[in-house]
Amino acid sequence: MNVSDATPWGEMAYNYAIVGVQKGGTSTLAVTLNQHRLVCQPPDKERHYFDDESVDWSAPDHARDYTAPRRSPVHLMLGDASPTYLYWPHALERMRAYLPEMPLIAVFRDPLERLFSHWVMLRSRNLAWPDWPDFLTEWPHTSLPDEVPDGVRPMRWRHMTGIARGFYGEQLQRGFELFERRQWLLLELREMLGDFERTVHRTTDFLDLPRFERVPPLKNWHAGAEQVPGTAPTADDVAGLAEVYARDLALFEELSGIDTSAWPTRQVLDGDLDPGELAARFARKVR
């Protein structure tokens, strides 16, 4: 039985997902798709269902817990744009059990830029969140974690596992084992911002939706703060993190086919960008 058949009239089951990455343009893409005449705008952009550790995942009630009000009789699609799903342990397994044919979209961004933007977001929201050195050392992962640690508040783990979110190769490897490659649309942030109309058309084509007659204008939703108080990254930080990501980045390039030559992490690893130059670029946002 199709999941949507089990929902009462007036409710829709979620039937596509933007699964990552955080600070990679997911809000921009999700808000744009929600303006399509056949797409239902959900109550929240990020539903955070499959990363909810309070759910009894041995017997989840999807028809009760993973639906949203249908806003128009013409609506066919309802999306969940929770950028934690790609890296969160067991989230994709739970999603596969929910809907094996789920279309999945992921937007990728240079891992060092993404990590720094992640920290800037936390500090701009609340200065009680750790400064840069502590952000790097609370959970200094060197590969993708398999489990949420016992005794840790999931919300803190979500916010402080910044390094883990950058292991895109391992995330895709796990994702491709669970969902067929045809179910994935892989996008890249620089390319998306450089030709937004083309990216939106690619996305609606992927979801089997008619193209927008006029693509909504590009807007930078949830842009980061101009400056935050704290300790700026050092050249050693940049160089060390690039090495942490080196093997995974090669795996990501192989699996995704995405050109990362313009990514600072790739340029640092190849010797084409001095780590101090990138650190100085980051430091301009720290006061």
Q: What is the pTM of this model?
A: 0.94
Instruction: For the chain, 287 residues long, give each residue's pLDDT as a single digit of tens.
Output: 344 444 445 899 999 999 999 999 999 999 999 999 999 999 999 999 999 999 999 999 999 999 999 999 999 999 999 999 999 999 999 999 999 999 999 999 999 999 999 999 999 999 999 999 999 999 999 999 999 999 999 999 999 999 999 999 999 999 999 999 999 999 999 999 999 999 999 999 999 999 999 999 998 776 677 899 999 999 999 999 999 999 999 999 999 999 999 999 999 999 999 999 999 999 999 99
pLDDT in tens, 147-176: 999 999 999 999 999 999 999 999 999 999
The architecture that CATH gives domain 3-283 is: 3-Layer(aba) Sandwich (3.40)
Cis amide prior to 107 (ω within 30 degrees): no
Q: List the chain domain ranges.
A: 3-283
pLDDT in tens, 210-249: 999 999 999 877 667 789 999 999 999 999 999 999 999 9
